[in-house]
């Protein structure tokens, strides 16, 4: 027993001491709480439209582990991530727990292009977002595989196939007898025959094609992405899928500047992707429950970036306009509507010292439905923050904030449905590592 114990100890020591066994640890989290003037506690009000600073009422965390395995000129990266979200209302919550990523990425397999990477598994796939509103405008993440960063001249081509079977449609499943309200169940008129339906999962997939690093003028590049969502049938083998397939096309113009960067994004979608343009969808799901979105089309224009305004000032912004036509009003209301949205958010920041900063954020939005009322509102936040270093994206950051919310919608959007205004006083931490 002693001999085996010594061998085990020696093996364990070798594993710890050998650099090749090092594991990367990375992640993100945010957590906080706030008092509300309406007595409803912490609040979140249309953060993708008016800004997220001082406007989040949940805890969220991601913890990732990665390992690079080297063999010759090849690098095989094994990566995984767990994610969890909950309300943060007490100290012991399971909440929503998810194994968000587990995949392998192999680089250097092809002698003609050592930078190309083959991958398979579950993955956050080349997501595109605006940080100040937590808006992912392109996100087809899921389980699948592909090859990315194939050299085409100076450009990089990426191809992927990803499973998106998350929607269910109602499918006719024979007949059934049901009771007639108000009738005696023992009488001949007490029952009637009607169609019987079942929820049937639609088997659908995303074909994702991207071409990046298209050079334009000085310090400017273009990336284009085409996403095609197609169905092969239902889980029970029914080929009659009610929802049409859809296309989402995206063009991203990135401009580096001496004092920051700016991105202009243009997107077009049809079918469910068309409905998502004004609903702030991102390609991460596709509504196939019926044919309500079959004639929908939509466009979206987004401009965002971060610039330095001097030695002490920096500012981030988002300007967004979107329109969807002939789209279902919501997941539950399938009536057709035209839907318009416009949003503006600015986040100026003043850096007092290397660790002390004051942050302001103001945002407003308005959206109109052709037959379902209108929504509009605004938000203003002042936060005193302490960060690890200078710069707009320096994290970790601890914030103490005050937020004013003003809802002017036809229907109440705040937690207290009888109120149109709310003031929050809170504290939050945000970190990535």
pLDDT truncated to tens, each residue of the chain (433 aa)? Answer: 444 454 444 444 444 444 455 899 999 999 999 999 998 888 899 999 999 999 999 999 999 999 999 999 999 999 999 999 999 888 888 788 899 999 999 999 999 999 999 999 999 999 999 999 999 999 999 999 999 999 999 999 999 999 999 889 987 777 888 888 878 888 888 888 888 878 889 999 999 999 999 999 999 999 999 999 999 999 888 889 999 999 999 999 999 999 999 999 999 999 999 999 999 999 999 999 999 999 999 999 999 999 999 999 999 999 999 999 999 999 889 999 999 999 999 999 999 999 999 999 999 999 999 998 899 999 999 999 999 999 999 999 999 999 999 999 988 888 777 889 999 999 999 999 9
Q: Summarize pLDDT for 150-192 with one digit per residue, the tens.
A: 999 999 999 999 999 988 998 777 788 888 887 888 888 888 8
- Kindly compute the dihedral angle of the four CA atoms of residues 7, 12, 16, 22, in this order, to the nearest 10 degrees: 120
**Where do we find the tokens 């330095």?**
308
Instruction: Give the per-residue pLDDT at 412.
Output: 80
Structure tokens at 418: 């009888």
Which residues are bridge partners to 426 per DSSP?
34, 401
Alpha carbon distance 171, 234 (integer Å): 9
- What secondary structure, in 3-state letters, does the chain show? CHHHHHHHHHHHHHHHHCHHHCCEEEEEEEEEEEEECCCCCCCCCCHHHHCCCCCCCCEEEEEEEEEEEEECCEEEEEEEEEEEEECCCCCCCCCEEEEEEEEEEEECCECCECCCEEEEEEECCCCEEEHHHCEEEECCCEEEEEEEEEEECCEEEEEEEEECCCCEEEEEEEEEEEECCCCCCCCHHHEEEEEEEEEEEEEEEEEEEEEEEEECCCCEEEEEEEEEEEEEEECCCCCCCCCCCEEEEEEEEEEEECCEEEEEEEEEEECHHHHHHHHCCCCCCCCCCCCCCCCCEEEEEEEEEEEECCCCEEEEEEEEEEEEEEEECCCCCCCEEEEEEEEEEEEEEEECCCCEEEEEEEEEEEEEECCCCEEEEEEEEEEEEEECCCCCCCCCEEEEEEEEEEECCCCCCCCCCCCCEEEEEEEEEEEEC
Name the β-bridge partners of 211. Answer: 157, 224
Residue 270 pLDDT? 98
Can you give the pLDDT at residue 172? 75
Partnered with residue 130 across adjacent β-strands are 135
The predicted structure's pLDDT at residue 21: 59
What residues does each domain of the chain span? 23-84+352-433, 128-141+163-332
What is the separation, in whole angstroms, between the first and last Cα of the chain? 43
pLDDT at position 177 is 84
DSSP β-bridge partners for residue 254: 221, 263
Taking alpha carbons only, the member of 137, 368, 392 closest to residue 264 is 137
Q: How far is 403 from 424, CA to CA, in rounded Å?
A: 5
- Residue 123 CA to residue 136 CA, distance in Å, equals 15
Residue 369 to residue 338: CA distance in whole angstroms: 6
pTM, to two decimals:
0.87
Report d(CA 413, CA 86) in Å as an integer: 21
CB 138 within 8 A of CB 225: yes
**Hey, what are 161's tokens?**
């196939």
φ/ψ (deg, to 5) at 394: -65, 125
Express each pLDDT in 249-280 by its tens digit: 999 999 999 999 999 999 999 999 999 999 99
Cα dihedral angle (33, 39, 40, 42), rounded to 10 degrees? -20
């Amino acid at each position: 027993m002693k001999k085996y114990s010594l061998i085990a100890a020696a093996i364990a020591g070798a594993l710890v001491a050998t650099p090749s066994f090092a594991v990367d640890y990375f992640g993100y989290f945010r957590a906080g709480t706030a008092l509300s003037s309406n007595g409803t506690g912490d609040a979140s009000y249309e953060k993708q439209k008016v800004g997220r600073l001082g406007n989040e009422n949940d805890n969220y965390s991601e913890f990732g582990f990665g390992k690079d395995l080297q063999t010759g000129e090849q690098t095989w990266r094994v990566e995984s991530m767990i994610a969890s979200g909950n309300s943060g209302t007490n100290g012991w919550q399971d909440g929503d727990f998810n194994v968000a990523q587990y995949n392998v990425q192999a680089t250097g397999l092809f002698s003609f292009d050592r930078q190309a990477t083959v991958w398979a598994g579950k993955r956050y796939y080349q997501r595109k977002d605006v940080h100040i509103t937590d808006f992912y405008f392109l996100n087809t993440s899921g389980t699948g595989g592909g090859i990315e960063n194939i050299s085409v001249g100076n450009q990089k081509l990426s191809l992927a196939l990803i499973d998106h079977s998350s929607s269910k449609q109602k499918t006719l499943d024979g007949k059934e007898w049901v009771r007639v309200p108000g009738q005696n169940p023992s009488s001949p008129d007490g029952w009637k025959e009607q169609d019987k339906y079942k929820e049937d999962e639609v088997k659908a997939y995303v074909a994702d094609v991207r071409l990046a690093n298209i050079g334009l003028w000085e310090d400017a590049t273009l990336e284009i992405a085409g996403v095609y969502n197609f169905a092969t049938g239902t889980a029970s083998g029914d080929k009659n899928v009610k929802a049409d397939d859809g296309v989402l096309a995206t063009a991203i113009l990135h401009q580096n500047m001496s004092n920051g960067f700016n991105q202009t994004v243009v997107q077009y979608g049809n079918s469910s992707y068309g409905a998502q343009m004004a609903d702030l969808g991102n390609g991460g799901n596709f509504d196939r429950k019926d044919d309500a979105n079959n004639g929908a089309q939509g466009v979206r224009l987004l401009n965002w970036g971060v610039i330095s305004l001097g030695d002490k000032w920096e500012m981030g912004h988002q300007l967004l306009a979107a329109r969807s036509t002939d789209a279902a009003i919501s997941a539950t209301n399938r009536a057709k509507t035209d839907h318009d949205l416009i949003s503006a958010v600015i986040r100026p920041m003043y850096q007092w010292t290397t660790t002390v900063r004051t942050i302001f954020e103001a945002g407003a939005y308005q959206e109109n439905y052709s037959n379902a009322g209108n929504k509009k509102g605004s938000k203003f936040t002042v936060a005193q923050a302490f960060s690890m270093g200078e710069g707009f994206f320096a994290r970790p950051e601890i914030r103490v904030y005050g937020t004013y919310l003003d809802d002017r919608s036809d229907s109440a959007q705040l937690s207290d449905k009888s109120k149109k205004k709310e003031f929050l006083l809170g504290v939050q931490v945000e970190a990535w590592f």
